Structure 1
Amino acid sequence: MAVFMDLNVLFSADRKRMQSLIETAAHLGFSTVAINYVFEPTAKKKQEVPSPMPINELIGQLPVVQGRSRPIRVLNRLTVVMSEASHFRPNATEYRAFDLLAVQPTTEKLFHTTCMLCDVDIICISVTEKLPFFFKRAPINGAIDRGVVFELSYASALRDTTMRCYTIANSVCLMESCKGKNIILSSAAEKALELRGPYDITNLGVLFGLSDADSKEAVSSTCRAVLLHAETRKTASGIVYTMKSQQEVLEDSAGSEAPESQKRPKTPGEWGFGRGRTHS
């Protein structure tokens, strides 16, 4: 059974609105949602990166996901709107408070830089206006090779006819360059009425130019890949875990009963190591 995710639910200081968004997402069958804090720095004055609000302050008890026996998972995400290269600070300590890191470039040069160099999880594509540049395959392929995904949101298409045209046009242009690879579909919803179910989003993805399989992955497995990429980004591009083998457990239990003088140190080959998994 597929696990569906919506990695872009816009943050609001209104607690009732956020509670309604999270409860509606769980009712629609989303197992994971990410609350998106949008940060748009300007050159005129210095602005502080917003701090994520603790989940227990937004909603008292997490609702159970429809069709599952577990509560919904809520993550925090930061989206930096870049109009200058200096707006994104890769080593900023404020970024570490967020589970996901996204960038929305506003020029062709910044789009190329983001695809090739920026250590982020998601590249947002503006769908509310006509883009001032065309998508080129070289930077897009560079982002795909590094495991970065492109995000298309649909809530703006529900608000205005003009934005609906821009959403479809920009989405189709992106699909012509990326061929449906590394795409996620999210809502960017401001209120519960703008949320749609996973299968409705899948049908919408077909309208954007995705195949049936790619459209389903855009709200499930590709979103899961984003979470794994975020974890590896925080752990030097890899996750290494250790686990005890059955033989070692027996030796430990036997060694605990033996005198200290009879215990021997374990050799490196006797330790059980899980292989580190690296996501580029």
Structure 2
Amino acid sequence: MFLDLNVPYPSHGGDMSELKKTVRLLHQFGYAGAAYTVTVSGKDANKPNPIKPLKLSELGIPTTQAAERCASSVSALVSASPAPPAPFQQLTRLTVVVDDIAANYQLNSNNAHLLTYDLIAVQPTSEKLFQAACSVLECDIISLDMSARLPFFLKAPTVNLALQRGLVFEISYSAAIRDPTARKNLVSNAAALVRITRGKGVLLTSDARKAMEVRGVYDVINLASIFSLPQDRAKHALDATCRAVLLHAATRKQIHRGVVAMEPAGTLAQHDKWKAGVAAADIAGSS
């Protein structure tokens, strides 16, 4: 189940036609879902979520009313089910550009606006902010602008600290399609990241501003070989790592200063009812 967890969402109510083309193409390429991304500066992290799911039926993607209602279900994507209930899952993501070590970005569970997003990513702009993102900031993804020369060196102790916290590092490939200079920087920066992480905790996304910048799953896997990322790791970066990010996000939102989360047995999906250790009929009767 492949996902693209970085598809830019038009800002300020802009033209949605390009986003619709991108989503339609992702579905045709075999992706099971995408995360629509809003990028803001740190001071704007407390604004309401502007993202609205698209109507899949208008994009020519076969669906039902029930599937439309659960088209943004994170639980469906992280469950043991081999496929989500909807033909294309639509998620929301906020990317916060952090540029001041002294600023309070309110990246915590007390920020009601942040809870409306499925995923939170941070983009540090200095070495100190990168260290803060890897060690203390509450997020799911660390996104670096790899299309430009990084203002700091990636150090193994800092990167490993982020991996221990369950965070992942994002590599967006569309910059390599748009500009030759950006391609050179992307290959160099991505190779350095892969060398330090050994291919673990790496997330491959498109960040496609136009539909023509989207590539199929196996094209992306082949492209990742330029970053010295083995094919099995590249496949994980589009599949298993995406599920791990969503699970991390769900845990971050639902569990605050705790180690156990509890849900009524009646809320379990049909394929997960065996986990309760009782018959499905008993679960239905108790709900």
Aligned to 1:224: 243
Q: What TM-score results when the alignment is normalised by the length of structure 1?
A: 0.80
Aligned to 1:18: 19
Percent sequence identity over aligned pairs: 34
SS of the equivalent of 2:238 reads coil
Distance 1:70 1:58 in 2: 10
**TM alignment of 1:203-218, pairs within 5 A:** 203-218=222-237
Distance 2:21 2:112 in 1: 31
Q: Does 1:39 align with 2:18?
A: no
The 8 Å contact of residues 123 and 150 in structure 1, kept in 2 or not, is answered as yes
The 8 Å contact of residues 52 and 97 in structure 1, kept in 2 or not, is answered as no
* 1:158 paired residue among 177, 184, 190: 177
TM-fit CA distance, 1:61: 5.6
Aligned to 1:99: 118
Q: Does 1:76 align with 2:92?
A: yes
> Residue by residue, what CA displacement relative to the aligned partner does 1:252-271 show, whole Å, maximum 9, x if unpaired?
97xxxxxxxxxxxxxxxxx9
Cα 1:135–1:248 change in 2 (3 A) is: closer
Distance 1:34 1:112 in 2: 26
The 8 Å contact of residues 45 and 106 in structure 2, kept in 1 or not, is answered as no
* 1:196 paired residue among 215, 228, 242: 215
> Residue by residue, what CA displacement relative to the aligned partner does 1:151-205 show, whole Å, maximum 9, x if unpaired?
0001111111100000001101111211111001000000100000010111111
- Structure 2 unaligned residues grouped into runs of 5+: 64-82, 266-275
Q: Does 1:141 align with 2:141?
A: no
- AA paired with 1:33? A
TM-fit CA distance, 1:108: 0.6
The 8 Å contact of residues 18 and 58 in structure 1, kept in 2 or not, is answered as no
- AA paired with 1:84? D
- AA paired with 1:145? Q
Aligned to 2:105: 88
SS of the equivalent of 1:181 reads coil
Cα 1:89–1:58 change in 2 (3 A) is: farther
Distance 1:248 1:217 in 2: 33
SS of the equivalent of 1:119 reads coil
CA RMSD of aligned residues (A): 2.7
Query: Which has the bigger relative contact order, CA under 8 A and spacing at least 6?
Result: 2
The 8 Å contact of residues 64 and 72 in structure 1, kept in 2 or not, is answered as no
Q: What TM-score results when the alignment is normalised by the length of structure 2?
A: 0.78
- AA paired with 1:29? G
Cα 1:248–1:125 change in 2 (3 A) is: closer
- AA paired with 1:9? V
Aligned to 2:186: 167
Cα 1:63–1:47 change in 2 (3 A) is: same
Cα 1:39–1:175 change in 2 (3 A) is: same
Aligned to 2:6: 8
Cα 1:247–1:186 change in 2 (3 A) is: closer
SS of the equivalent of 2:24 reads helix
Distance 2:50 2:135 in 1: 28
The 8 Å contact of residues 37 and 79 in structure 1, kept in 2 or not, is answered as yes
Distance 2:280 2:59 in 1: 41
- AA paired with 1:81? V
